[in-house]
Amino acid sequence: MESTKAPPPQMHRRIGLFGLTFAAIGAIIGSGWLFAPLYAAKVAGPAAIISWVIGALMVAILAMPFAELGAALRVPGGCTRYAQVAFGGTTSFLTGWLCWLGYVAIPTVETIAILEYLGDLAPWLVEVRDGDRSLSVGGSVVAAGVLLTMVIANLIGVQWLNRSNGAITIWKLFVPALTAVVLLIEGFNPENFTSHGFAPEGVGGVLAALGGGGVVFSLFGYRVVVDLAGEARRPQRDLPLAILGGLLACALLFVLLQLAFVGAVPPEQLEEGWSGVVATGASGPLAAFALTLGLGWLASVLYVDATISPYGCGLIYTGANARLLLAMGRNRNVPAVLGRIDRRGIPSVAILVNFGFALVLLAPLPAWDELTAMVAAAVTLTAGIGAVAFLRLRRTHPDLDRPFRVPVGTVAGVLAFAIASLITFWCGWSVLRDVLVGLAVGAVLLLITVPHHRRRGTPLDPRAAIWLVIWIGGLALIAWLGDHGGGLGTVPSPWADLAAVALAFVVLPFATRSGLRREDADTVLAEIRAESTSDEPPAH
């Protein structure tokens, strides 16, 4: 008798090139464009413009391995899956955990940014204690409601989300560009670039702005394209184009904004130099400059955008982080129920679980620049792991179908790993210390689940993760001894920077030789490919 069982639900491949590109742009342009020009200028002065150029080039190199892997493997939550194929369960779990830590706070942070801006119009949303603004009880309730709307939008479905994000992204591109052009025309003061030195903190300040100034954080949104690979119509062609196109468009926009910001700072705010430039203000720095110049209409537009840009970014990360949790569920790194999708092709369980964590994070968070540095460090570490996975698979699977191949791939992979090491180090010891605490919590969770993995016969391959422990531990030690972000200063720059690069070159050969055997990796690849027609996690 012919079976009448309904076919298993599948993730729908509905997102085209424009949808993926708009997802990258929408994820990059959040609250970052409202804050990063300020914090980057405080750290690097006018030379923050150079920080954006360096940051864009570095992030573009970090993106190259993901563009190739995303086109070749085409699975949702790609970051943790690449590590699974190359290095097995332990590395996959730690990679997914780091990336999840970096992603999970973003919707909540963007929601808080919205309400703190609206606190000028509705003071009951915020409260001020010891000079620090935070959400009131009523504001927290409203924030929960805003987060809920992000969840509902993602539960409705990716096609609807794709259409709505297109309109939001067009707005998000228009307003920053308009702001930069108007400030350049109405308030540009060329003396700001030289009156207190173009680079008051030297090369160190330019590099420190990459992590502590929010530069890298603001550019990392391209990664959501990798997480949406399983829902792309033509991933082979569209993934690399969307990643590089979105990154280039936003990098140009941020350089223009930084130029306008530096030129528009009122001279009286520079009396104590760039490190003392006014960092707070009810209207936000860009809106405050607009009001100072008598541009009330621009300030009003910025108020509106202070809602739309962070909301659009939170909307995208709500979905992207659910795809990451979905991948971890399918890898058996978290309960398998998180690796399921519903009959409409949506990872609804993962979305709802992330919503619960987002509500918990409504508790007081660190300042924007501190939090973004932590996010940047966590996500940069996963970029380094992705680069090593890229090199490992180039070595073990030269026959893998790669519709997009990175030119001079070995050189690009080595550079990406060295860059990831440097950016992580530049985030500073105080940031890396917090990331290590989060990573330790993940390691404990992994140890707790070891019996579960053994019962199911899921290999964890801990030996293939030794290089990862050495790399992250070594970077933390160098940061502790260095002079960035709370380090002891025992090993000052540039020697500490050179030590971080040297560590990368020492670890890399060991890392690329310590992955899964070809036959084991092929088994993982077969399971991943089987998922393209089923929402069920692989049986072991």
Q: Which amino acid is at 123?
A: P
Do you find a cis peptide bond into 65, omega within 30 degrees of 0? no
Among 501, 490, 408, 429, smallest CA distance to 68 is for 408
Alpha-carbon gap, residue 539 to 521, rounded angstroms = 16
Among 213, 191, 196, smallest CA distance to 274 is for 196
Secondary structure (3-state) at 132: strand
Per the structure block, which two tokens stand in for 285?
């720095």
Alpha-carbon gap, residue 232 to 23, rounded angstroms = 12
Architecture per CATH, 17-533: Up-down Bundle (1.20)
496 CB-near residues (< 8 Å, 6+ apart): 425, 478, 479, 481, 482, 483, 484, 487
Q: What is the pLDDT along the chain (540 residues), one digit of tens a residue?
A: 444 444 444 445 567 787 788 888 877 887 788 878 888 898 889 999 999 999 999 998 998 898 888 778 766 556 778 888 889 888 888 888 888 888 887 888 788 878 877 776 777 887 766 655 667 788 888 988 999 998 888 887 655 555 555 677 788 888 999 999 999 998 888 998 988 889 888 888 888 888 777 788 888 877 777 766 666 677 667 777 888 888 889 999 999 999 999 998 888 888 778 877 764 444 467 877 888 888 888 888 888 888 888 887 888 788 777 877 777 776 666 676 777 777 777 788 888 888 888 888 777 665 566 777 788 888 899 999 999 999 999 999 998 888 778 888 899 999 999 999 999 998 889 889 988 988 888 888 888 777 766 666 566 788 889 999 999 999 999 999 988 778 888 988 889 999 999 999 999 999 999 888 888 888 878 877 676 544 444 433
Alpha-carbon gap, residue 149 to 152, rounded angstroms = 5
Question: Domain extents for the chain?
Answer: 17-533
Secondary structure (3-state) at 195: coil
pTM confidence score: 0.81
Alpha-carbon gap, residue 5 to 394, rounded angstroms = 40
Alpha-carbon gap, residue 495 to 53, rounded angstroms = 23
